[in-house]
């Protein structure tokens, strides 16, 4: 299996090469050259544990790693989750389920990919003898999960940029209270979009990237998206066969990595009726899937800070597939978007629909879900609990533990959500490395700490 860049100007890469690079050298994002048809596997996969399913799935995409090694990697990656199901599917009523993706070490869905990616980096560093500089941008959860995937690993230094003052206090503590010497939590002025743009610009310098063995840890890295496909398949297999094509997956959305993973699993033959892109007030993707126009606006801080994004990286992968892999057209459209000119595409909806909640809606929805089901949704998950489909079974992806965002949850429900790992963090000192939002300062810092 080879991996191609959405911009069409990079040589095909193997799985391991694509993971090591993260972002393609031409600035594009890697995708497998074709998607395997998983329908013939679904019966056999039904009885597997979560780590076994992940190992079987990855073998289809990365034959350069042996089956035995995949099973060992996934067994280790999911060993720190606190639910025996890893991703438990809870039924709330006849037509509503919640897929809980917050049972990993940092209590957000990012752990599914980043526990595994940390091990893939470790494997790479051991085999090559190189020291990797893992670089990422975060609006809160990717950073924590990436840091906890790489914590204390020999041969890896990890640099995470985040918008100063715009991540939740406990998210910042998860990144900045580790005391590990290979972890650098870097607040910068601006928004998540600014941090993500700095990361991409840093990768735009091939000499620097090569000199420091830079790898991108955001969902621009294809391993991230593939690892996230697995829980969609897992959830599907928990339902009776006759219901599987009735499912609308409801996905709280920011950088478009999570919902893209579901879409890719569907492209591979996983049954589903639809995907709902659920945004907060930073609603560029809601607008796109409602009227076809992709027009970037300002980012406004919200109760769901990890989704305060207006430049969704993985949208490029979706464009590439929507445009039948026409990478010339992708390059033109990305240039148009970067220049601030809105892009309009005909019939973008297909198997998608969208919903949006502002802060008042998020607070009211957390209260409603609590009253109706006795279930506490975090503010990101709450964005999914609106506009429920009358014609489908809804599986709402619960992307974070409510204890990460206690204030809004407490106000809406009267319940103060807590978690022991977060309580312990409150006592530790913060260690951050603030930098100005310039590529030069980021590069200098990485060079000095690699």
Ligand X SMILES: Cc1ncc(COP(=O)(O)O)c(C=O)c1O
* Cβ within 8 Å of residue 131, ≥6 positions away: 125, 155, 156, 157, 213, 450
Q: Which residues, 212 to 251, sit near ligand LJ64HWYM by CB under 6 A?
A: 218-219
Q: Return the residues of window 328-387 that contact ligand LJ64HWYM according to CB under 6 A.
A: none
Find the catalytic residue in 80, 110, 273, 338.
110
Name the binder of 143 from ligand X, ligand LJ64HWYM, none, CB < 5-8 A by kind: ligand LJ64HWYM
Pick the binder of ligand X from 196, 255, 281, 413 (CB under 6 A).
255
Q: Contact with ligand X (CB under 6 A): which of 115, 153, 209, 253?
A: 253
CA–CA separation, 380 vs 318, rounded Å? 22
In angstroms, the Cα distances linking 372 to 99, 367, 375, 398, 444 are 17, 9, 8, 17, 53
Q: Smallest distance from the beta carbon of 397 to ligand X, in angstroms?
A: 8
For ligand X, the binding residues in 20-79 under the rule CB under 6 A are: none
Q: Does 406 bind ligand X (CB under 6 A)?
A: no
110 is an active site residue? yes
Residues binding ligand LJ64HWYM: what is the number (CB under 6 A)? 13
**Minimum distance from CB of 266 to ligand X (Å)?**
16
* From candidates 77, 108, 114, 185, binder to ligand X by CB under 6 A: 108
From the list ligand X, ligand LJ64HWYM, none, partner contacted by residue 380 (C-beta under 5 to 8 A by kind) = ligand X
307 sits near ligand X (criterion: CB under 6 A): yes
Q: What distances in angstroms separate CA 109 from CA 72, 159, 177, one per listed residue? A: 21, 20, 20
Q: For strands 293-294 and 343-344, give the pairing.
A: antiparallel
Give the number of residues in contact with ligand X, rule: CB under 6 A.
16
Residue choice 105, 118, 140, 384 for contact with ligand LJ64HWYM (CB under 6 A)? 140
> Nearest approach, Cβ of 321 to ligand LJ64HWYM (angstroms)?
18
Does position 330 bind ligand X by CB under 6 A? no
Count CB-CB contacts under 10 A for residue 21: 22
313 contact choice in ligand X, ligand LJ64HWYM, none (CB below 5 to 8 Å, kind-dependent): ligand LJ64HWYM
- Interaction between residue 6 and ligand LJ64HWYM (CB under 6 A): no
Catalytic residue positions? 110
Residues that bind ligand LJ64HWYM (CB under 6 A): 138-143, 218-219, 254-255, 257, 306, 313
Residues that bind ligand X (CB under 6 A): 108, 140-141, 219, 252-258, 306-307, 380, 399-400
């Amino acid at each position: 299996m080879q991996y191609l860049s959405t911009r069409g100007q990079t040589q095909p890469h193997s799985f391991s090469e694509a993971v090591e690079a993260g972002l393609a050298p031409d600035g594009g994002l890697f995708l497998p050259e074709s998607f395997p048809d998983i329908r013939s596997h679904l019966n056999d996969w039904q009885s597997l544990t979560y780590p076994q399913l992940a190992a079987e799935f990855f073998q289809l995409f990365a034959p350069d790693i042996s089956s035995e090694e995949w099973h060992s990697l996934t067994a280790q990656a999911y060993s720190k989750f606190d639910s025996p199901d890893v991703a438990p599917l809870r039924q709330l009523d006849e037509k509503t389920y919640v897929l809980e993706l917050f049972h990993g070490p940092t209590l957000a869905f990012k752990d599914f990919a980043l526990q595994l990616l940390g091990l893939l980096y470790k494997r790479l560093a051991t085999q090559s003898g190189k020291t990797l500089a893992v670089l990422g941008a975060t609006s809160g959860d990717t950073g924590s999960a990436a840091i906890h995937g790489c914590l204390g690993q020999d041969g890896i230094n990890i640099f995470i940029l985040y918008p100063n003052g715009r991540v939740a206090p406990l998210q910042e503590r998860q990144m900045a209270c580790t005391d590990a010497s290979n972890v650098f939590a870097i607040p910068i002025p601006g928004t998540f979009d600014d941090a993500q743009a700095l990361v991409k610009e840093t990768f735009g310098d091939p000499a620097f990237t090569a000199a420091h063995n830079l790898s991108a840890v955001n969902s621009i890295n294809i391993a991230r998206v593939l690892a996230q496909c697995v829980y969609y398949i897992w959830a599907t297999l928990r339902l009776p066969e006759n219901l599987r094509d009735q499912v609308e997956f409801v996905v709280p959305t920011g950088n478009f990595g999570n919902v893209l993973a579901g879409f890719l699993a569907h492209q591979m033959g996983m049954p589903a009726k639809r995907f709902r892109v659920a945004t907060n007030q930073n609603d560029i993707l809601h607008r796109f899937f409602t009227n076809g126009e992709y027009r970037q606006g300002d980012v406004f801080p919200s109760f769901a800070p990890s989704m305060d994004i207006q430049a969704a990286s993985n949208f490029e992968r979706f464009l590439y597939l929507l445009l039948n892999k026409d990478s010339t057209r992708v390059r033109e459209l990305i240039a148009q978007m970067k220049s601030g000119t809105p892009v309009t595409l005909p019939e973008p909806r297909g198997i998608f629909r969208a919903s949006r909640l502002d802060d008042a809606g998020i607070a009211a929805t957390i209260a409603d879900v609590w009253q109706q089901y006795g279930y506490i949704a975090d503010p990101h998950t709450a964005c999914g609990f609106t506009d429920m489909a009358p014609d489908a079974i809804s599986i709402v992806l619960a992307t974070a533990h409510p204890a990460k965002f206690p204030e809004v949850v407490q106000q809406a429900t009267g319940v103060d959500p807590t978690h022991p790992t977060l309580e312990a963090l409150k006592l530790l000192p913060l260690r951050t490395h603030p930098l100005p939002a310039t590529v030069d300062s980021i590069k200098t810092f990485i060079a000095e700490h690699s």
